[in-house]
C-alpha cells in the first residue's frame, strides 16, 4: 500500500475549474488489492478496464478507411493489454499546441479569449 494523491476537477457549473485533492492508501499489487477489496471487486474492475481498452482499439480500427467487421475482429484477436503511460493533462496539451504557434499567432489567438 502507498499513500497516493487523487485529484478531481470540476468541469461544469459555478465551480468549474475547482480542483479537489485527497490522499488515500491504495494497493500497489494485485495481492494487496485483493486483500483490501476482495477478489470479485478486483476482477470486476479489471474486466471493465479491459473492455474499455479493447473498445478503444476497436474504435481506432473502425476510424481507418476500409474498416470491415473482419478487420475489426482481427484487431480484437491480435489485441493484448499493456501498461499505459499516463496521458497528458488538458493544460499540457494546450501548452504543447500553443508552443507550436508563432508569437504573433499565439497573441492573436489568446487575445480572442482574454
On the question of pLDDT at 85 being above 80, the answer is no
Task: Determine the Cα–Cα distance for residues 87 and 98; give it in Å rounded to an integer.
Answer: 18
Are 78 and 49 part of one and the same domain? yes
Q: Are 9 and 17 in contact (CB under 8 A)?
A: yes
28-37, 52-61, 82-91, 99-108: segment of lowest average pLDDT: 82-91
Percentage of the chain modeled with pLDDT above 90: 75
Report how far apart, in Å, the C-alpha atoms of 10 and of each of 4, 13, 15, 63 are. 20, 8, 6, 31
Are 42 and 17 part of one and the same domain? no
Please state the domain count of the chain: 3
pTM value surpassing 0.75: no
On the question of pLDDT at 71 being above 90, the answer is yes
Containing structural domain, residue 76? 38-83
Query: pLDDT tens across 17-48, in order?
Result: 999 999 999 999 999 999 999 999 999 999 99
Amino acid at each position: 500500500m502507498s499513500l497516493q494523491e487523487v485529484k478531481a476537477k470540476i468541469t461544469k457549473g459555478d465551480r468549474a475549474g475547482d480542483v479537489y485533492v485527497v490522499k488515500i492508501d491504495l494497493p500497489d499489487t494485485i495481492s494487496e488489492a485483493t486483500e483490501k477489496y476482495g477478489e470479485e471487486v478486483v476482477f470486476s474492475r479489471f474486466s471493465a478496464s479491459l473492455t474499455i481498452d479493447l473498445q478503444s482499439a476497436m474504435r481506432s480500427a473502425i476510424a481507418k478507411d476500409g474498416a470491415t467487421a473482419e478487420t475489426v475482429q482481427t484487431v480484437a484477436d491480435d489485441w493484448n493489454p499493456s501498461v499505459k503511460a499516463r496521458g497528458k493533462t488538458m493544460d499540457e496539451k494546450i501548452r504543447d499546441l500553443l508552443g507550436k504557434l508563432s508569437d504573433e499567432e499565439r497573441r492573436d489567438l489568446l487575445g480572442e479569449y482574454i
